């Protein structure tokens, strides 16, 4: 097997992982909407900075690399920001 074949195989693995990540992000979004619905019914604020901080701290503590902790933190800050925006847009359309 030459290097070109190896790159193709590795890219196929990356593509498969990306598909899994996409599926999981959408599953997460579905659950976010359910949580938002429950919190709205109960009159509880949707944003919970303590929960978000705990999530990032837990993930950083579990991180075994090779991604550095700061990358994990920034990735999840982006995910959480987009989940909040997504949830807000969907709340406005309910």
Q: Which residue has the tokens 């800050």?
A: 77
Domain count along the chain? 1
Q: Cα separation of 62 and 58, whole Å?
A: 6
Condensed to tens digits (0 to 9), the pLDDT of residues 35-90 reads 999 999 999 998 899 999 999 999 999 999 999 999 999 999 999 999 998 877 77
Judge whether residue 2 has pLDDT over 70: no
CATH code, 84: 1.20.59.10
Which range marks the domain in which residue 88 is found? 3-93
């Amino acid at each position: 097997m030459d290097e070109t074949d190896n790159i193709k195989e590795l890219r196929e693995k990356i593509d498969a992982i990306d598909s899994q990540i996409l599926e999981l992000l959408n599953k997460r979004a579905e659950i976010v909407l359910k949580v938002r619905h429950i919190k709205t019914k109960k009159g509880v604020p949707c944003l919970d900075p303590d929960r978000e901080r705990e999530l990032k701290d837990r993930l950083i503590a579990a991180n075994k690399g090779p991604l550095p902790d700061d990358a994990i933190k920034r990735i999840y800050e982006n995910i959480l920001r987009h989940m909040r925006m997504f949830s807000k847009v969907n709340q406005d359309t309910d």
